Amino acid sequence: MPTILTSVKASQRLDSRGKPTVQVEVETRDGKFRAIVPSGASKGDYEAIELRDGGEAYGGNGVEQAVRNVQEIIGPALSGRQFDLELGLKDVDYFMIKLDGSSDKSDLGANAILGVSMACARACAAAKKIPLYDFLASELQSRHKEYVVPVPFFNVLNGGVHSGNTMAFQEFMIAPTGAASITQGIQWAAEVYQALKSIIIKKFGKAAIGIGDEGGFAPPITRPSEALDLIMAAIEAAGHEGRFRIGIDPASSEFYRDGDYDLGFKSDTPQRYTSTELADLYRSLVDKYPIVLLEDPFAQDDWDSWKSFHIISKLANIELVGDDLLATNIRRIEMAAKADACDSLLLKINQIGTISEAIAAAERAYELGWSVFVSHRSGETTDDFIADLTVAIGCGHLKSGAPCRGERVAKYNRLMDIEEELEARNLGSSYAGESFRHAHS
């Protein structure tokens, strides 16, 4: 007897910034399955389109139209087709893509479609009576032989559009690559985070320990070297020297101005860099600090700068991650591959709008010999879906913010649960550690 959807409902709820988002609940004979959709602040031009209502309610950010699209269009259409969820998610997802009919999901809304896709993935897993990560792994064609628990990259210092300080670079992340397990890595990161808090209080006062959208501290600093010096001091103070590596997400599209990069875009004093000067800044930081990953160091359409810097990053063994450049979109991935512009995909499920397409993007990245780096959004929810997804695709690393705020730690807590569960199930698994870039292979 097939497992079919008997009900599809949607509601307007709030994300971590207090803005509306879409919650979807689907029902089958196995029970009810819920998902809540995240949203980004620094959005690239090539992302799938989330629907917002406009008007006065919630400052125009309401999602009642997206909710109605689930209730009145997507839900009835899916129920009418009576998909057997035991057969997987792809048919459901690609039916919704066709139902929308646009190239960017702007008709029904990526936030409407993704909510249904996530909830249906959970229903598919229940239909097969397996954990979500098992089900998602079964949707991956190049499934690995054993599970890899990822290295978490914690955004402990916030800048850019995620904070109120004058730091142009958006994220400074610490990664416990020297840990033996994710449980140990999370412990170490929490200790560094608390040490960083104490250092900031001592240097700037208690008023400086306010946090940004992703839980990282946002002290009154401007220069990247100031952020990195604080991080190195915190790692030393916590007793974890040599156990951490660092990742930086400048989110440079946010400060790209007429062919140059303005690192003073959050202040009254412009600090304009040419792409060559910005590349030199990155090189100086890589030479001085244990940086292993750079995400979006140049703007989403500054292809020449990406191509030139990729030569440098390969020589320095730095993972060069495309976020706005790629938008979790296979067409953009192919463009970047042809240009030899980067070697890693930042995977954000709401950039593309269905779980099946996100998995397909990861598959293509692996075929190209790239790495995959799973990411949350700055407007997050307590839904821990991406934790299961990261383990399922075996990509070896993810970022979900600081070890702070419920919507961030929900993912880290879920990963510790999965680690314990894999051990209890006696399945082959390992912690990615220093090999995080190549975990899948």
- Position 441 scores a pLDDT of 82
Verify that 281 and 368 share a domain, yes or no: yes
Instruction: Note the pLDDT tens digit of each residue in 4-37.
Output: 999 999 999 999 999 999 999 999 999 999 999 9
Verify that 284 and 347 share a domain, yes or no: yes
Residue 154 lies in a domain: yes
Residue 162 annotated as lining a ligand binding site: yes
Total domains, the chain: 2
- Position 164 scores a pLDDT of 87
Verify that 177 and 251 share a domain, yes or no: yes
Read off the pTM: 0.97
Q: Has residue 103 got a pLDDT over 80?
A: yes
* 348 is a catalytic site residue: yes
CA distances (Å), origin 268, targets 20, 169, 259: 32, 17, 19
User: CATH code at 212?
Assistant: 3.20.20.120
What is the domain extent for residue 61?
5-129
Verify that 120 and 191 share a domain, yes or no: no
Residue 440 lies in a domain: no
User: CATH code at 55?
Assistant: 3.30.390.10
- Of residues 163 and 388, more confidence is placed in 388
- Position 326 scores a pLDDT of 97
Verify that 174 and 244 share a domain, yes or no: yes
Q: Which residue from 110, 145, 141 is spatially nearest to 22, judged by alpha carbons?
A: 110
Residue 249 annotated as lining a ligand binding site: yes
Residue 59 lies in a domain: yes
Verify that 12 and 81 share a domain, yes or no: yes
- Give the domain-ending residue among 99, 129, 159: 129
Catalytic residue among 47, 64, 214, 419: 214
- Position 144 scores a pLDDT of 66
Residue 304 lies in a domain: yes
Whole-number mean pLDDT of the chain?
Answer: 96
CA contacts within 13 A on the Cβ side of 373: 30
Verify that 106 and 195 share a domain, yes or no: no
Q: Mean pLDDT across the stretch 300-310?
A: 97
Strands 260-262 and 256-257: antiparallel
Verify that 102 and 218 share a domain, yes or no: no
Q: Mean pLDDT across the stretch 260-278?
A: 95
Residue 384 annotated as lining a ligand binding site: no
Verify that 275 and 357 share a domain, yes or no: yes
Residue 376 annotated as lining a ligand binding site: yes
Q: Report the phi/psi class of residue 440: left, alpha or beta, with left for phi > 0 and alpha for psi in -120 to 50.
A: alpha
* 214 is a catalytic site residue: yes
Q: Mean pLDDT across the stretch 45-59?
A: 95
Residue 375 annotated as lining a ligand binding site: yes
Catalytic residue among 348, 357, 380, 419: 348
Q: Has residue 428 got a pLDDT over 90?
A: no
Residue 139 lies in a domain: no
Q: Mean pLDDT across the stretch 252-263?
A: 95
- Position 42 scores a pLDDT of 62
Q: At 40, is the pLDDT very low, low, confident or very high (cuts 50, 70, 90)?
A: confident
Residue 397 annotated as lining a ligand binding site: no
Instruction: Note the pLDDT tens digit of each residue in 309-346.
Output: 999 999 999 999 999 999 999 999 999 999 999 999 99
CA distances (Å), origin 55, targets 15, 49, 50, 64, 108: 19, 18, 16, 11, 19
Q: Mean pLDDT across the stretch 360-374?
A: 98
